Amino acid sequence: MLKKIDASELKIGMFVHDLDCGWADHPFLRNRFALTAETEISRIRDAGIRGVVIDCGKGLDASNSPTLHEAAAATEAELATLAARPASPMRVTMSEEIGKAAAIRRQAADVVRSVMADARLGKAVELDNVSPVVENITASILRNPGALMGLLRIKTKDDYTFLHSVSVCTLLVAFCRSRGLPADSTYEAGMGGLLHDTGKAFVPDAILNKQGRLTEDEFAVMRRHPRDGYEVLVKTPQIGAIPLDITLHHHERHDGSGYPDRLAGDGIGEFAQMASIVDVYDAITSDRCYHKGMSAAEALRKIFEWSKFHFNPTLTQEFIRCIGIYPVGTLVLLESGRLGVVSEQHDSSLLTPKVNVFFSTRSKLYIRPEIVDLARPLGFGGGDRIVSHESTETWNVDPLKFIAIS
pLDDT tens-digit readout, 326-364: 888 889 999 999 999 998 887 677 888 889 999 999 999
Residue 42 host element (H or E): helix 38-46
Percentage of the chain surpassing pLDDT 90?
52
- Domain assignment present for residue 105? The answer is yes
The whole-number pLDDT of residue 379 equals 61
Q: Has residue 111 got a pLDDT over 90? A: yes
- Domain assignment present for residue 78? The answer is no
pLDDT tens per residue across span 354-402:
899 999 999 999 999 998 999 887 666 567 899 988 988 888 887 777 7
The whole-number pLDDT of residue 254 equals 95
Q: Has residue 278 got a pLDDT over 60? A: yes
Domain end marker among 290, 323, 356 = 323
The whole-number pLDDT of residue 197 equals 96
Q: What is the mean pLDDT of the chain?
A: 88
Domain end marker among 11, 40, 71 = 71
Beta strands in 2-111 (DSSP E): 2-6, 15-19, 33-34, 51-55
- Domain assignment present for residue 84? The answer is no
The whole-number pLDDT of residue 24 equals 54
Residue 373 host element (H or E): strand 365-373
Most confident segment among 75-84, 89-98, 269-278: 269-278
Whether 194 and 266 share a structural domain = yes
Beta bridge partners of 366: 359
Whether 221 and 336 share a structural domain = no
What is the four-CA torsion angle of 219, 223, 229, 234, rounded to 10 degrees?
-150
Average pLDDT of span 242-268: 96
Q: How many distinct structural domains can be found in the chain? A: 3
Beta bridge partners of 18: 53
CB 355 within 8 Å of CB 382: no
- Domain assignment present for residue 89? The answer is no
pLDDT tens per residue across span 152-192:
877 776 688 899 999 999 999 999 999 999 999 999 999 99
Whether 243 and 352 share a structural domain = no
Whether 278 and 196 share a structural domain = yes
Best CA proximity match to 405, nearest among 347, 348, 344, 332: 344
Q: Has residue 128 got a pLDDT over 50? A: yes
- Domain assignment present for residue 299? The answer is yes
d(CA 213, CA 45): 18
The whole-number pLDDT of residue 380 equals 60
- Domain assignment present for residue 103? The answer is yes
Whether 50 and 157 share a structural domain = no
Please tell me what DSSP assigns to residue 200: G
Best CA proximity match to 181, nearest among 88, 268, 90: 88
d(CA 163, CA 115): 13
Residue of higher predicted confidence among 307 and 30: 307
Best CA proximity match to 44, nearest among 72, 66, 71, 12: 12
The whole-number pLDDT of residue 260 equals 96
The whole-number pLDDT of residue 406 equals 46
Q: Has residue 135 got a pLDDT over 80? A: yes
Whether 13 and 59 share a structural domain = yes
Whether 238 and 115 share a structural domain = yes
- Domain assignment present for residue 7? The answer is yes
Domain end marker among 295, 323, 351 = 323
At 87, is the pLDDT very low, low, confident or very high (cuts 50, 70, 90)? low
Query: In CATH, what number is assigned to the domain containing residue 149?
Result: 1.10.3210.10
The whole-number pLDDT of residue 86 equals 53
CB 12 within 8 Å of CB 63: no
Strands of the sheet with 338-344, listed across from one edge? 365-373, 354-360, 338-344, 331-334, 386-389
Average pLDDT of span 92-119: 91
pLDDT tens per residue across span 187-229:
999 999 999 999 999 999 898 888 777 888 988 999 999 999 9
Average pLDDT of span 104-133: 94
Whether 121 and 259 share a structural domain = yes
Whether 347 and 311 share a structural domain = no
pTM for the predicted model, two decimal places: 0.88
Whether 217 and 155 share a structural domain = yes
Q: What is the DSSP string of 295-362?
A: PHHHHHHHHHHHTTTTS-HHHHHHHHHHH-SS-TT-EEEETTSEEEEEEE--SSBTT--EEEEEEETT
Instruction: Give the C-alpha distances (Å, rounded to integers) separating 186 from 103, 134, 255, 379.
Output: 21, 10, 26, 41
Whether 98 and 60 share a structural domain = no
**Which residue range(s) make up the domain with 8?**
2-71
Whether 298 and 222 share a structural domain = yes
- Domain assignment present for residue 319? The answer is yes
